[in-house]
């Protein structure tokens, strides 16, 4: 069995001159990329559609703010816990095989979510989507790593892959808006089914199978430890952010960190580790992973509150709200592709740090001028944010994949996808919870509400809007005005915090990714 290369040796692969010139991809390879975009589009459509369906879901089930966050977060929470394990399974048993299994399971649970009779059943269906979604995402990125061996072609392919997320996010509100205007909220989940049917038909024909040539034995203990690390840690952050019991967060974090410590020690002792944790000693690799996380954090957090503002405060339909955000989502695609030639001429730390500053500017616009902001203003802010997210995602994913050999791409892809999903969880859990706390602190309820009406109004903005329909004209107007003001005040506070986080992310990128230049020379 071959010995696992060290992390520093792997970084030498970033320099294309240090290895033999790889073969160029032809028409079949680019067709395979087109098929691999189908699950990427599927997952991003699913996430965006859900954010626009939240007001209707909240009203339909009369759910609390905490339950609403669980509907959003249960999917990425489970996904984050399973990605490393599924990436390892793909390396060992075949990435295409895992992709097909994931597609079939995702289709079944999409139907289950669409017809969920209760909020609890919807959360359970989202958990099932997370299990099979964990099979989809590492497989797509690791297959790209193996199909495109030329560095420049691979960078373009990764830009297309990243743009696929943005394209799905752009299509989601439009398709979902049309469905929500004519059908019930569950119809948004059925969007996945035709995409998956097409993918299941084409994948065996055009996508080549790939796996680790020397995979070693399946390390079930490491799989359990990886899940035992991610699930409790992400839950602890989520619980703490929403103001849950401190003891619960501390206990969950302790369990996760303890499992993570054992996981790291086990990987260091094995000749064929499930995940080469030595990669995290490479500053550029760790920096790229954190950039990935923070870029998605900014995107998901922005969508969480702006979709509610457009629909509940400004009274836009889901379709009209999607059209307002469409230019920003298109700009995310353009920025992801346009950064490819720039990345050939400028060092990564410059490209990524400047990109993240665009995200900081977008949030600063909302913090300074956004209270009661118009749809046009939000559109401009989201265009600025899209530039930052699109450019930083392309470069950071390219850096992550370039540090590992092709036969270990599944594990590296899983790390990238874990960062993506943890960023999604944190975007809604942290920013959403800060927004909720500010909303509750500033909300003034009119006299005469029942205890149930008061509780519903306090839990979410959607709840307040629904309660207002049950009141007389004067009380309804007072409640709506107070709720809208409280919500927008919370958005201002939340955006200010997010702007500072994005400035910090830019500084982190400037420091950590600068090492890629030095390491190219050294190795």
Q: What DSSP line would sit under 486-517, residue for residue?
A: HHHHHHHHHHHHHHHHHHHHHHHHHHHTTHHH
Q: What is the pLDDT of residue 519?
A: 43
pLDDT attached to residue 65: 67
Most confident of 166-180, 183-197, 374-388: 374-388
Mean pLDDT for the chain?
Answer: 79
Mean per-residue pLDDT for 388-399?
83
Least confident of 102-106, 270-274, 368-372: 368-372
Going by pLDDT thresholds of 50, 70 and 90, the confidence category of residue 412 is low
Q: Give the pLDDT mean for 332-340.
A: 84
pLDDT in the model for residue 384: 93
The kind and range of the H/E element at 377 are helix 375-402
pLDDT tier for residue 364 given thresholds of 50, 70 and 90:
very high
User: Percent of the chain having pLDDT more than 90?
Assistant: 6
17 pLDDT above the threshold of 50: no
* Higher-scoring residue by pLDDT: 493, 404: 493
CA distance 292 to 7: 20
What was the pLDDT predicted at 411? 65
**pLDDT of res. 258:** 94
Token pair, residue 251, equals 């206990």
Backbone angles phi and psi of 157, in degrees to 5: -60, -40
**Confidence grade of residue 4 (pLDDT, cut at 50, 70, 90):** very low
pLDDT mean over 301-313 = 81
Compute the distance between CA of residue 415 and CA of residue 28 in angstroms, rounded to an integer.
Answer: 28
Highest average pLDDT, of 68-72, 188-192, 383-387, 428-432, comes from 383-387
Closest to 64 (Cα-Cα) out of 455, 487, 470: 455
CA 155-157-163 angle, to 5 degrees, is 105
pLDDT of residue 452 exceeding 60, the answer is: yes
121-145 tens-digit pLDDT: 898 998 898 889 888 877 787 788 7
pLDDT average, residue stretch 73-88: 77
Cβ(431)–Cβ(294) under 8 Å?
no
pLDDT tens-digit map of 248-289: 889 998 999 999 899 999 988 887 777 778 878 878 788 888
Higher per-residue pLDDT: 213 or 302? 302
Is residue 160 predicted with pLDDT exceeding 90? no
40-44, 118-122, 255-259, 359-363: least confident range:
40-44
Do 129 and 113 form a contact (C-beta atoms < 8 A)? Answer: yes
Angle at 200 between CA 196 and CA 205, to 5 degrees: 145
Q: Give the residue, 68 or 361, on which the prediction is more confident.
A: 361
How does residue 407 score in pLDDT terms, banded at 50, 70 and 90? low
Predicted local confidence at residue 432, as pLDDT = 77
Average pLDDT, integer, range 479-505: 87
* Model confidence band, residue 360 (pLDDT cutoffs 50, 70, 90): very high
């Amino acid at each position: 069995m071959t010995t696992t290369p060290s992390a520093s040796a792997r970084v030498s692969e970033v320099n294309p001159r240090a290895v033999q010139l790889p073969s160029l991809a032809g028409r079949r390879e680019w067709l395979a990329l087109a098929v691999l975009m189908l699950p990427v589009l599927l997952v991003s459509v699913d996430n965006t559609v859900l954010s626009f369906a939240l007001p209707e879901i909240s009203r339909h089930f009369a759910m609390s703010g905490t339950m609403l966050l669980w509907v959003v977060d249960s999917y990425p929470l489970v996904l984050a816990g399973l990605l490393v394990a599924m990436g390892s399974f793909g390396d060992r048993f075949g990435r295409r095989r895992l992709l097909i299994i994931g597609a079939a399971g995702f289709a079944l649970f999409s139907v289950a979510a669409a017809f969920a009779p209760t909020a609890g059943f919807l959360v359970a269906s989202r958990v099932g989507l997370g299990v099979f979604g964990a099979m989809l995402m590492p497989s797509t990125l690791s297959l790209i790593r193996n199909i495109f061996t030329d560095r420049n072609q691979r960078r373009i392919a990764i830009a297309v892959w990243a743009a696929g997320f943005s394209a799905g996010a752009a299509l989601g509100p439009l398709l979902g808006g049309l469905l929500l205007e004519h059908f019930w909220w569950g119809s948004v989940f059925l969007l996945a089914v035709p995409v998956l049917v097409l993918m299941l038909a084409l994948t065996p024909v055009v996508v080549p199978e790939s796996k680790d040539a020397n995979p070693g034995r399946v390390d079930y203990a490491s799989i359990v430890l990886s899940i035992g690390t991610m699930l409790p840690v992400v839950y602890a952050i989520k619980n703490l952010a929403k103001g849950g019991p401190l003891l619960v967060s501390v206990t969950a974090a302790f369990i996760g960190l303890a499992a993570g410590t054992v996981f790291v020690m086990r990987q260091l002792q094995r000749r064929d580790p499930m995940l080469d944790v030595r990669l995290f000693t490479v500053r550029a690799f760790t920096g790229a992973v954190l950039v990935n996380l923070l870029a998605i954090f900014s995107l998901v957090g922005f969508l969480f509150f702006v979709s509610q503002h457009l629909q509940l405060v400004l009274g836009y339909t889901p379709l009209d709200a999607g059209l307002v955000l469409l230019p920003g989502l298109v700009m995310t695609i353009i920025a992801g592709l346009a950064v490819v030639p720039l990345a050939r001429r400028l060092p990564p730390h410059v490209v990524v740090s400047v990109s993240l500053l665009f995200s900081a500017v977008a949030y600063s616009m909302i913090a300074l001028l956004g209270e009661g902001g118009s749809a046009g203003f939000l559109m401009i802010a989201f265009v600025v944010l899209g530039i930052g997210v699109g450019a930083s995602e392309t470069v950071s994913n390219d850096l992550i994949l370039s540090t590992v050999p092709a036969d270990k791409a599944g594990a590296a892809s899983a790390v990238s996808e874990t960062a993506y999903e943890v960023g999604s969880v944190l975007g809604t859990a942290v920013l959403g919870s800060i927004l909720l706390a500010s909303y509750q602190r500033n909300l003034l309820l009119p006299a005469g509400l029942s205890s149930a009406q008061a509780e519903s109004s306090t839990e979410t903005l959607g709840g307040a809007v629904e309660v207002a329909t049950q009141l007389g004209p004067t009380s309804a107007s007072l409640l709506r005005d107070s709720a809208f003001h409280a919500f927008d005040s919370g958005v201002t506070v939340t955006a200010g915090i997010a702007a500072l986080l994005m400035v910090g992310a830019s500084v982190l990128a400037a420091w950590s990714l600068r090492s890629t230049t030095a390491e190219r020379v050294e190795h």
